[in-house]
C-alpha cells in the first residue's frame, strides 16, 4: 500500500471500505484522495474483522488507533501480505454464517 500526500493506493484484492475521491483505478489497484474529515480507509482481515483504519485528518492520513501520521504501510504487518497478492479467484471471503 502506498500513501503519498493526500492519496492512498491499495490493491483491489483487499477487502476494504472507503470514503474519498477515486482518482485512479486500474485492474489491480485503486487510488483514493482524502477530501475532508469524512474520508477513511477501513481494511478488513477475514480472521479479525477490521485490521486497520486510516482516517484523513488535517490534510494527512492518520492511523485511527495511534493518531499518528501514516506514510507507506506494509500490509504484511497485518497478516495481509499473502492475501493481497493472490489472484482474485483464489482469495477467500469472510466465512458465511452457519445455518
Non-local (6+) Cβ contacts of 49 within 8 A are none
Q: How many CB atoms lie within 10 A of CB 85?
A: 13
- What was the pLDDT predicted at 1? 87
Residue 80: band (very low, low, confident or very high) from pLDDT cuts 50, 70, 90:
low
Judged against a pLDDT cut of 50, whether residue 92 lies above it is answered with: no
Closest CA to 42 of 1, 95, 92, 96: 1
- pTM exceeds 0.75, yes or no: no
Arithmetic mean of pLDDT, 24-53: 93
- What was the pLDDT predicted at 47? 78
Judged against a pLDDT cut of 70, whether residue 28 lies above it is answered with: yes
Arithmetic mean of pLDDT, 9-18: 94
In the chain, where the domains are located = 2-70
Q: H helices of 8-99, where?
A: 81-85
Amino acid at each position: 500500500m502506498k500513501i503519498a500526500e493526500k492519496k492512498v493506493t491499495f490493491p483491489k484484492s483487499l477487502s476494504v471500505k472507503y470514503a474519498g475521491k477515486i482518482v485512479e483505478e486500474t485492474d489491480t489497484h485503486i487510488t483514493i484522495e482524502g477530501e475532508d474529515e469524512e474520508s477513511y480507509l477501513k481494511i478488513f482481515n477475514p480472521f479479525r474483522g477490521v485490521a486497520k483504519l486510516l482516517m484523513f485528518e488535517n490534510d494527512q492520513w492518520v492511523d485511527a488507533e495511534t493518531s499518528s501520521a501514516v506514510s507507506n504501510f506494509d500490509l504484511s504487518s497485518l497478516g495481509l501480505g499473502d492475501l493481497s497478492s493472490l489472484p482474485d479467484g483464489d482469495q477467500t471471503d469472510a466465512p458465511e454464517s452457519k445455518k
